[in-house]
Chain A
């Protein structure tokens, strides 16, 4: 698994000057006030791994996966914005850049790197505050979808859906084809001609032999080839016109019989469609509300993507907790989605009915192209058939009605079954008349009957084969689906159990003795279908669900955090690092501390990049995480450089030394000033020197002159130290005179002057700092017996009058 050695960012989001983070595989706690660009780091990180910035990928602030808003607009056109990551495995090191035309490129195109990125795509690398509670407050279906996405089960769900959909489609095809009706139509033709039904070759040959017996042909039909031989033998070209007529009527009769057999299905289909349509129509307000669904869904996107960051409703502008707002939206969306399902059901019933009607209309359309219908003699029959088509179209028209319209009553729209049965009977009679017309010609009669029965038998076999194939396919898909869902549910349950244990462990570590325990993710089923996931937990030994109803916002956030951390353990197989961006905002002091302990103890194998804008939290947990080897960093923001890292005292000291070595005066005076301010702040703190009161963060901005004054004033307690330190000498140096603004101006001192100043500053500091014990002189170490102030080890000590 990979860890990060260093991160370099330039020209992305708020970063205008190179931002370098040397981590050397260690975890880091980064403090930065709001607006100092912590999210620039998180956004760049997200882009590096996922090739998108989710919360920037919307119409308002940037399309193209957030790329529009990725590049810092102040960097020169000739420069690329980039993020460069070095890993412990240098084969994965890569620099991802974006140029002025927003084209992106990666310096590492190796298979190792591409495979690594592909794997991390399904890993959990980043958690922002805005995403913290998404899973916890999501609806049950959304929870299932989200979880399946995270655990790579979305493909499993896709296969499951494919199996189900395929099985359902075949079942529908079997139903609309009404194979039994089609087979009956063919058997009727066989019965009319052979005076017996034929389901097998033997039955057909038996009937055929009986039919041809009076002709005494001396042939016994034993195969279908024999039937062809007999037909050829008794065929007469003189009778072709009559034969055409009989064929025509047979075709019409079969089509009408097919429709007759489907009438019941059409009536049933209409009845189902009518009832579902009517139920939905009964509550017009509900239907009207459906139009709000897309608005509510869009509202949810706006909130989850942090287009609105504060706790207020973007529509009515009323103050409201974002979590509460999202909860309400989820509930309303779920309600409307349920209603939408009813609407979809009506639409599906409409499609089913159309599916049953369509083959009948097609059959009639086929009939109406028959040449004989062009003749006057057949006009009445044509008219009757067109009426049937019109009746079928009436049903189709009903299926196209809007919910605002009324459907025709089930009884009034009904087909006149008797009229169709009469027509069918009339056609059978007509065929018989035509066939019997040539009573004297036994050959013709036999030919016609044998021809039609053989043709109907072949058609019957074809229909039966199709029915069997489809039925086998349907059964196959049903069995496969059954097998597949067992596998899916078993795997999901194993995962949920393991996952629940981890969530429970992390949550209870952060919230000990709160009587919330046994947290579980529980699958929800309806009609044997997995429809969602809910969260259950035990509260004073009673099972509660869902958590939002009983837990405070801070506890819900805790649960969200536990969920994320459990996901990291479960799914991060390639990357042994993750980013937590400002995730503890709603936590109280005790929770914050326990959270830091949880990370330091249970995630000690991982490299954590923990960002916070909360000074209190930073100070609270600094020593805890530092003792575990974490690095501490401060982010700052300046107009000139954008986001940057506030340099530590040691960094600045090294830089000063380097500049003096290189005889480089550029910014050296400023560096000495900053260094002196930092150290004197610490000296003032340890000596409990007083400075004027200032509000909040302004309190942190103390100039060197002010600090030197306050320390000097405190040194009244020690003449010895006062003399040795000689603060007035330092205070008179040019970089310590003036206000903050003038401090930032360049000094025009020579390198020799600056070297001398630096030596004086070092001399000053060594009066207050002991390099042996790495501690400052402090009133904490005051020796009451000797009345001396001293460092941690006592090597440095001075008389001190309290």
Chain B
């Protein structure tokens, strides 16, 4: 065999180590996934919560006084 046989863990580890190279993705979302995987917390509910957090962070007015959003 030319190609190496990979275990399931090999496949997953490789994916997460190269995930930032996938073109066209949102960096903050990808970083969040890497963080959850690293902490062994990559579950459906944790992903949902993390994405909601990212969304709230993005739509929250940042500089109220400067841009007058209130």
- Could you give, for residues 628-650 of chain A, a 1 whenever the CB lies within 8 Å of some chain B CB and a 0 otherwise? 00000000000000000000000
Within 8 A of B (CB), among A451-488: 458, 462, 465-466, 468-470, 472-473, 475-477, 479-480, 483-484, 487-488
A421 in the interface, Cβ–Cβ < 8 Å?
Answer: no
CB-defined contacts of B12 to chain A, threshold 8 Å: 155-156, 159
Would you call A462 and B3 a contact (CB within 8 A)? no
C-alpha spacing A271/B7, complex, angstroms: 46
C-alpha spacing A458/B64, complex, angstroms: 12
A223 in the interface, Cβ–Cβ < 8 Å?
Answer: yes
A348 in the interface, Cβ–Cβ < 8 Å?
Answer: no
CB-defined contacts of B24 to chain A, threshold 8 Å: 475-476, 479
Would you call B9 and A155 a contact (CB within 8 A)? yes
B55's contact among A153, A226, A469, A497, by CB below 8 Å, is which?
A: A469
Give the total of A residues in contact with B, Cβ under 8 Å.
44
- Could you give, for residues 37-66 of chain B, a 1 whenever the CB lies within 8 Å of some chain A CB and a 0 otherwise? 000001110011001001100110000011
CB-defined contacts of A153 to chain B, threshold 8 Å: 8, 11
B29's contact among A155, A228, A473, A490, by CB below 8 Å, is which?
A: A473
C-alpha spacing A738/B68, complex, angstroms: 112
CB-defined contacts of B51 to chain A, threshold 8 Å: 166, 170, 473
Would you call B67 and A224 a contact (CB within 8 A)? yes
C-alpha spacing A479/B30, complex, angstroms: 11
CB-defined contacts of A400 to chain B, threshold 8 Å: none
- Could you give, for residues 222-245 of chain A, a 1 whenever the CB lies within 8 Å of some chain B CB and a 0 otherwise? 011111100000000000000000
C-alpha spacing A488/B7, complex, angstroms: 10
Would you call A487 and B11 a contact (CB within 8 A)? yes
CB-defined contacts of A165 to chain B, threshold 8 Å: 44
A524 in the interface, Cβ–Cβ < 8 Å?
Answer: no
C-alpha spacing A162/B47, complex, angstroms: 9
CB-defined contacts of B47 to chain A, threshold 8 Å: 162, 166
CB-defined contacts of B58 to chain A, threshold 8 Å: 465-466, 468-469
Q: A162-B42, A223-B68 are in contact. Are A475 and B25 (CB under 8 A)?
A: yes
CB-defined contacts of A498 to chain B, threshold 8 Å: 1, 5
- Could you give, for residues 119-158 of chain A, a 1 whenever the CB lies within 8 Å of some chain B CB and a 0 otherwise? 0000000000000000000000000000010011111100
Would you call A166 and B26 a contact (CB within 8 A)? no
A570 in the interface, Cβ–Cβ < 8 Å?
Answer: yes
CB-defined contacts of B26 to chain A, threshold 8 Å: 472-473, 475-476
A169 in the interface, Cβ–Cβ < 8 Å?
Answer: yes
Would you call A227 and B68 a contact (CB within 8 A)? yes
Q: A170-B51, A466-B59, A475-B24 are in contact. Are A155 and B67 (CB under 8 A)?
A: no
A224's contact among B7, B19, B23, B69, by CB below 8 Å, is which?
A: B69
Which single residue of chain B is at the shortest CB-CB distance from A477? B29
Q: A473-B51, A476-B30, A498-B1 are in contact. Are A228 and B68 (CB under 8 A)?
A: yes
A205 to chain B, nearest CB (A): 11
A151's contact among B8, B23, B44, B69, by CB below 8 Å, is which?
A: B8
A494 in the interface, Cβ–Cβ < 8 Å?
Answer: yes
A622 to chain B, nearest CB (A): 36
Q: A228-B68, A494-B1 are in contact. Are A479 and B23 (CB under 8 A)?
A: yes
CB-defined contacts of B70 to chain A, threshold 8 Å: 228
User: What number of A-B contacts does a CB cutoff of 8 Å give?
Assistant: 104
CB-defined contacts of B10 to chain A, threshold 8 Å: 491
Would you call B25 and A476 a contact (CB within 8 A)? yes
B58 to chain A, nearest CB (A): 5
A495 in the interface, Cβ–Cβ < 8 Å?
Answer: yes
CB-defined contacts of B23 to chain A, threshold 8 Å: 479
CB-defined contacts of B44 to chain A, threshold 8 Å: 162, 165-166
Would you call B15 and A487 a contact (CB within 8 A)? yes
CB-defined contacts of B33 to chain A, threshold 8 Å: 480
Would you call A480 and B22 a contact (CB within 8 A)? yes
CB-defined contacts of B1 to chain A, threshold 8 Å: 494, 497-498
C-alpha spacing A454/B33, complex, angstroms: 37
CB-defined contacts of A570 to chain B, threshold 8 Å: 5
Which single residue of chain B is at the shortest CB-CB distance from A475? B24
A116 to chain B, nearest CB (A): 17
Would you call B8 and A152 a contact (CB within 8 A)? yes
CB-defined contacts of B66 to chain A, threshold 8 Å: 225
Would you call B11 and A226 a contact (CB within 8 A)? no
B19's contact among A462, A475, A480, by CB below 8 Å, is which?
A: A480
C-alpha spacing A497/B4, complex, angstroms: 11
C-alpha spacing A227/B68, complex, angstroms: 8
A272 to chain B, nearest CB (A): 25
B68's contact among A155, A226, A465, A488, by CB below 8 Å, is which?
A: A226
CB-defined contacts of A491 to chain B, threshold 8 Å: 5-6, 10-11
A133 to chain B, nearest CB (A): 25
A654 to chain B, nearest CB (A): 47
CB-defined contacts of A483 to chain B, threshold 8 Å: 15, 19, 22
Would you call A479 and B22 a contact (CB within 8 A)? yes
C-alpha spacing A494/B1, complex, angstroms: 8
Would you call A152 and B7 a contact (CB within 8 A)? yes
B20 to chain A, nearest CB (A): 11
Which single residue of chain B is at the shortest CB-CB distance from A155? B8
CB-defined contacts of B69 to chain A, threshold 8 Å: 224, 458
Would you call B55 and A159 a contact (CB within 8 A)? no
Would you call B4 and A472 a contact (CB within 8 A)? no
B68 to chain A, nearest CB (A): 3
- Could you give, for residues 57-84 of chain A, a 1 whenever the CB lies within 8 Å of some chain B CB and a 0 otherwise? 0000000000000000000000000000
B35 to chain A, nearest CB (A): 15
C-alpha spacing A224/B69, complex, angstroms: 7
Using a CB–CB distance below 8 Å, which chain B residues touch chain A?
Answer: 1, 3-12, 14-15, 19, 22-26, 29-30, 33, 42-44, 47-48, 51, 54-55, 58-59, 65-70
A-B contact pairs, 28 of them (CB 8 A): A148-B8, A153-B11, A155-B9, A155-B12, A159-B12, A166-B47, A169-B48, A223-B67, A224-B67, A224-B68, A225-B65, A226-B68, A458-B69, A465-B58, A466-B59, A468-B58, A469-B59, A472-B26, A473-B51, A476-B29, A479-B22, A480-B19, A483-B19, A491-B10, A494-B3, A494-B4, A495-B6, A497-B1
Using a CB–CB distance below 8 Å, which chain A residues touch chain B?
Answer: 148, 151-156, 159, 162, 165-166, 169-170, 223-228, 458, 462, 465-466, 468-470, 472-473, 475-477, 479-480, 483-484, 487-488, 490-491, 494-495, 497-498, 570
Q: Please name 17 further chain A to chain B contacts, defined as beta carbons within 8 Å, in addition to the given A224-B68, A476-B30, A491-B6, sorted by A numbering.
A: A151-B8, A153-B8, A156-B8, A159-B42, A162-B43, A162-B44, A162-B47, A223-B68, A225-B68, A472-B29, A477-B29, A480-B19, A483-B15, A483-B19, A491-B10, A491-B11, A570-B5
Shortest 8 CB-CB contacts between residues of A and residues of B: A224-B68, A225-B68, A152-B8, A472-B26, A476-B25, A491-B6, A153-B8, A476-B26
